[in-house]
Structure 1
Amino acid sequence: MTILIPQFDGLFKALRLFRNNQIEACKDECTNLLNKNPLDMAAWALKLSCLTDTVYVDELENEELGIAETFLDQNVIAPNARPGTSFQRPITTGKAMNPIMRPTSTAGRPLSGVSRPMTSLRSGTMEQAVRTSRTARTARAVSSNSARQLRLATASMASNPEGPFIMLQRLNIDKYGADPMVNRQLFEYVFYHEGDMKTAHQIATIATKAANYDDWYWKNQLGKCYMRLGLFLEAEKQFLSSFKNHRLPETYSYLAKAWWAMGAFSRSRHGGASNHCATRALCTLITYLFQQLGEVAESNECYKKILTIQATNIEAIACIATNCFYDDKPEIALCYYRRIVQMGVNNAELMMNIGLCCFACQQFDFALSSIQRAHSMASEEIAGEIWYNTGHLMLAIGDTRQASRCFRLALAVDSEHGEAMVNLGILQQMEGKLDQARSLYHSAISKSPHLFEPHFNLALLCTQIGETNNLHGVVVNLLTPERAIARSFPTLCKYLSIIVVESHIIPCHEKLQ
């Protein structure tokens, strides 16, 4: 007996393809349906969903800063915020992670288990801002949102030689915006695919009026449009109004993002944690806030809560493993990293972390093979970090010559690597090459101002060669509020007291009369 396999056709086939995530095939089927009947609204709406799905970007993960947000931000009250009151400056609270025990990123914050937007480069600098596209349709400075939408729309139009699917200039916004059968698909297409915030806001406004202001979905979409336009107060009003209709974790997340952009960190932190504590997305955002505030222990507890909700969350596993490694628990961290490998992740960063954990656990054979594999898989962007970690391993086994070579290779790949400059300067100072060591310390201070190690080592070098005047300036810079951890060093306090006493004894040089 033969079993006949049903053959789908028409709109049902397109819906089946869309459900199976065969977006391109679904789009082609919708195109065929529209060629037969251009007035088929179901096929038209389904094709809009297909075009939107190819360029969809989660708004909650969109945290990059472009040139406009960095240098033309009109929401900033004080350009030079006090220490500990802004994410643009290093953390100075006593409960922050000690940078001696745990290194910091180029943004001046403790390293997390995964790379996220706004953590790869130092915030507020040109080298981060110019990473976005420099193409814009208006005279306004390029922001990360406009650049991303232009790139996505251009890429999608390049695949369609016939041009855009909808001519927004000729579209009857009042008609389609009030139609509940197609207005959601149309809004998402305009918002994500075309990046036209003016038209998207117009559609959301008409749809909100058509729903008698009782639909939480359209209030959230209005808030998203206002956030894209930089009107955070208006976005806050829309999200708060959405709570009157329905309370969702998504709304709490968007409201927290708006408060975060306005600087209300405490409100964004405690907004909806008590109402939706078992939601993975909201717990993830809470961990981001804890990490930005320097509360690593609280963020680790939130990641454990995420694993109780979703046991296969790679980000939570990686961050917990990183915290275990820096808490002197390399065996536990190694178990977490091996779990990530079993889940199918295979990259240079993971292999390097496994190698470091194996080295800390005295499993030298596994450490060597993992590090070699990391070098073979490393891309140009992370090759500097791989060589830097390899240099630390060479120092641990006492091979200073190989360590010096590793640090030089790290600087050859990444000339902005301040940590490699500091370690190479220490090795040069140990060899008696004081001028080269001083040059490396000064370069590290200019490249990585959040580090305190180059200031401390430069102060020791000035003491060694007897440059008391330069020593005073170095120690004063080291004891600034941004580097509060350095105040716990009794050696620095002793140097500062000696310098102050000598400054009262030795008079300044005056011109001869």
Structure 2
Amino acid sequence: MDLMFMALSYFKRRKFEESAELCTKILEKNPYDQAAWALKARSLTEQVYIDEVEAEEQGIAESVMDDASVAQVSRPGTSLRAVTGAGPSPAVRPVSQSGRPLSGFVRPGTQSGRPGTMEQALRTPRTAHTARPVTSASGRFVRLGTASMLSSPDGPFINVSRLNYSKYAARPNLAKVLFEYIFHHENDVRNALELAALATEQAQFKDWWWKVQLGKCYHRLGMFRDAEQQYKSALKQQIMLDTVLLLGKVYQRMDQPLQSISTYKQGLEKFPDDRSLLVAIARVHDEMGQLDDATKWYKDVLETDGVNVEAIASIAANYFYTDQPEISIRLYRRLLQMGIHNVELFNNLGLCCYFAQQYDMTMNCFDRALSLADDEQLGDVWYNISHVALGIGDNNLAYQCLRLAIAADNGHTEAYNNLAVLELRRGDMERAKSLLRSAAELAPQAYEHHYNLATLAENAGDLQTSYSSVLKSVAAFPDHMDSKNLLKTLKQHFESL
């Protein structure tokens, strides 16, 4: 059988390694076979392809040293970094380091907490659901590119540094294949940008595809204004769904969520009821802390796609935190019927059954969660079981569960805080202080342990420590009345002195 036919067959069946091997054999016999060269380049590209439409995770470099925003203090409701108080308070729903309520569905952009300072970013050993600080997106692309080189023991398939880009730019079919290989496989953004610029010029600036690729290169390099111009120019020539999503992603990186939502809504006029656009709008509202609006858009998603996991999970989480666990149970059961069986789902079902007073199902769900959990997930499951134990009045069981949670995840700040409260009930004040200090170092953005530490220090007569701790508590949660009252009492005491 013809080797080229077999290679094409493997490629269509997404067996890219086998396709690349057959193309290598063809090129060994005829190094100038352009069809085999192009097919091998595409096969290698598909092995490491990353969808640029999905918003990437922002790491320390992007979150701390971000110079894309114009104003340091944005108006409420206009920035992803300044979450308004429209959503639930931190006393009801856990929040990230930036004060944003944690989403009900883990997706790119929701795992990091956007630490406020470099010192805080470097010393934070635990973000939401991770055991270490999230690395930058650029680092992820570099690691993928270097790992893919292991498939070529004799060296790279294409020596990018020796290519004549003007020659390839004049041949559009080969130029597009070569660009994707350089951009995705080699992760050489600067050379990819050079090829795209020459090809755009060769096409007399009339090819929308090359303008989109220029925008991707500018985005990777952090040149968001240039990327915006390229995407807008491409949309004038050809309205494509991916281009609309990429343009909205650029506005999010420039901290312009309202402009991003406007872009997505303009896309809905051309692509009515498109699921990806509806989900994108809901995500932006979710990141801005506008949970009611996010739920509305997620419901619109379910009207067009009734089995969308992200929409179902996000709506279920919002219903749970608005004291409607019965509705959350129905939604989580729907996910079970769809064949999703993981730790998070059984953990959430256990909590919903407990608060809906369906106690016969609560421990069964937590048992399933424990049987499926790995080392990183055990901490959250044991922490939630401790709440059930506290609810039934078994403080000894709650104490053991919290100890197990810390043993599984030594960065679980909530477990440290609750364990300190139980230690205080046992009369061990020094150990309670030690646990609260550990929680304050791990999560300076939370308020509970700061307030508890301030209360302990006040009772012990250490007013200076109490004052500094209660200031941190008020900064983390300005509407917490107990913290405000304690701060007022301490100020009156200092004034009397």
Q: Same fold (TM over 0.5)?
A: yes
Residue among 75, 85, 104 paired with 2:95: 104
Matches within 5 A, 1:349-388: 349-388=344-383
Aligned to 1:485: 479
Q: How far did residue 347 of structure 1 move?
A: 1.9
Query: 1:86, CA displacement in angstroms?
Result: 8.9
For residues 173-212 of structure 1, the C-alpha deviation after alignment (integer angstroms, 9 at most, x for no partner) is: 2122221222222111110100001110111112212222
1:399 aligns with 2:394: yes
Taking structure 2 as the reference length, the TM-score comes to 0.88
Q: Unpaired runs of 5+ in structure 2?
A: 116-120, 128-133
Per-residue deviation, residues 308-347 of structure 1 (Å, max 9, x unmatched): 2323322222111211222222232222222222333222
How far apart are the structure 1 equivalents of 2:461 and 2:9? 79
Match of 2:222 in 1: 230
State the distance in 2 between where 1:499 and 1:206 align.
Answer: 68
2:289 aligned with 1:297, yes or no? no
Residue ranges of structure 1 left out of the alignment (5+ in a row): 1-7, 132-141, 508-513
Q: 1:22 aligns with which of 11, 15, 28?
A: 15
Specify which of 418, 437, 440 is matched with residue 442 of structure 1. Answer: 437
Given the superposition, is the C-alpha separation of residues 302 and 258 from structure 1 closer, same or farther in structure 2, using an over 3 Å criterion? same
8 A contact 1:87–1:292 mirrored in 2? no
CA-CA distance at 1:67 after TM superposition? 4.7
Cα distance in 2 for partners of 1:46, 1:128 equals 45
CA contact under 8 A between 2:470 and 2:487: conserved in structure 1? yes
Alpha-carbon distance in structure 2 between the residues aligned to 1:89 and 1:435 = 37
The separation in 2 between residues aligned to 1:265 and 1:211, in whole angstroms, is 34
Aligned to 1:253: 245
1:147-296 maps to which residues of 2 (within 5 A)?
147-276=139-268, 278-296=273-291
Q: Is the 8 A contact 2:433 2:453 kept in 1?
A: yes
Matched residues in 2 for 1:170 and 1:435: separation?
Answer: 67
Which deviates the most, 117-126 or 468-477?
A: 468-477
1:448, 1:84 → 2: CA distance? 24
More relative contact order, 1 or 2 (CA 8 Å, 6+ apart): 2
Q: In 2 relative to 1, CA 59–365 (structure 1 residues): closer, same or farther, beyond 3 Å?
A: same
- The equivalent residue for 2:30 is 37
Letter in 1 for 2:477: R
Q: Does the CA contact (< 8 Å) of 1:407 and 1:420 recur in 2? A: yes
Aligned identity (percent) is 40
Structure-to-structure mapping, 1:47-86, within 5 angstroms: 47-70=40-63, 72-75=65-68, 81=73
Q: In the aligned structure 1, how far is the partner of 2:345 from the partner of 2:356?
A: 16
1:95 aligned counterpart, secondary structure: coil
1:503 to 2:497 alignment = no
- Write the distance in 1 (CA, Å) between the matches of 2:42 and 2:427: 67
- Structure 1 counterpart of 2:394, one-letter code: D
In the aligned structure 2, how far is the partner of 1:395 from the partner of 1:81? 41
Deviation, 1:497, is 4.0
Equivalents in 1 of 2:75, 2:262: separation in Å? 22
Q: Is 1:416 the equivalent of 2:411?
A: yes
Q: Distance in 2 between matches of 1:501 and 1:161?
A: 73
CA distance in 1: counterparts of 2:337 and 2:449, whole angstroms: 40
The structural deviation recorded for 1:72 is 4.7
Q: Output the amino acid matched with 1:232.
A: F
| Of 431-440 and 49-58, the range deviating more from structure 2 | 431-440
* Superposition map of 1:445-464 within 5 A: 445-464=440-459
1:361-386 residue CA offsets vs partner (Å, 9 max, x unmatched): 33333322221221122122222111
Structure 1 position 302, deviation (Å): 1.6
TM-fit CA distance, 1:303: 1.5
- Measure the CA separation in 2 of the matches of 1:34 and 1:342: 50
- Per-residue CA shift, 1:395-423, capped at 9, x if unaligned? 11211111111112222222222211111
Q: Which residue of 2 aligns with 1:432?
A: 427
Per-residue deviation, residues 80-124 of structure 1 (Å, max 9, x unmatched): 647958978563x23122222222245532121222234334323
Asked whether the 8 Å contact 1:352–1:371 carries over to 2, the reply is yes
Greater mean alpha carbon deviation, residues 379-388 or residues 101-110:
101-110
User: Which residue in 2 is equivalent to 1:126?
Assistant: 122
Measured at CA, do residues 424 and 216 of structure 1 come closer, stay the same or move farther in structure 2, by a change above 3 Å? Answer: same
Between the aligned partners of 2:245 and 2:150, the Cα distance in structure 1 is 34
Is the contact made by 1:387 and 1:407 (CA closer than 8 Å) also made in structure 2? Answer: yes
Q: Does 1:314 find its partner at 2:305?
A: no
- SS in structure 1 of the partner of residue 267 of structure 2: coil
Distance 2:77 2:161 in 1: 46
CA distance in 1, matches of 2:282, 2:114: 20
Task: Say which is worse superposed, 366-375 or 47-56, in terms of deviation.
Answer: 366-375
Counterparts of 1:466 and 1:72, CA distance in 2: 41
Structure 1 residues 145 and 111: alpha-carbon distance in aligned structure 2, compared to 1, 3 A threshold: closer
Note the aligned Cα RMSD (angstroms): 2.8
* Amino acid in the other structure paired with 1:302: W
- Relative to structure 1, is the Cα distance of residues 99 and 291 closer, same or farther in structure 2, using a 3 angstrom cutoff? same
In the alignment, the residues of structure 2 paired with residue 229 and residue 129 of structure 1 have an alpha-carbon distance, to the nearest angstrom, of 28
How far off is 1:462 after superposition? Answer: 4.1
Residue equivalent to 1:139: none
Letter of the structure 2 residue corresponding to residue 439 of structure 1: S
Kindly tell me: are residues 146 and 29 of structure 1, through their superposed partners in 2, closer, same or farther at Cα, counting changes over 3 Å? same
Question: Is contact 1:66–1:128 with CA below 8 Å preserved after alignment?
Answer: no
Q: Residue 249 and residue 498 in structure 1: after superposition, are their counterparts in 2 closer, same or farther (change >3 A)?
A: same
1:242/1:433 CA distance change after superposition, 3 Å: same
Distance change >3 Å, CA 358–CA 130, structure 1 → 2 = closer
Q: What amino acid sits opposite 1:164 in the alignment?
A: P
2:118 aligns with: none
CA distance in 1, matches of 2:334, 2:24: 44
Cα distance, 1:71 vs. partner?
5.2
Using the TM superposition, name which of 13-22 and 253-262 deviates more: 13-22
DSSP 3-state at the match of 2:415: helix
Are the counterparts in 2 of residues 97 and 295 from structure 1 also a CA contact under 8 Å? no
Cα distance in 1, alignment partners of residues 125 and 202 from structure 2: 41
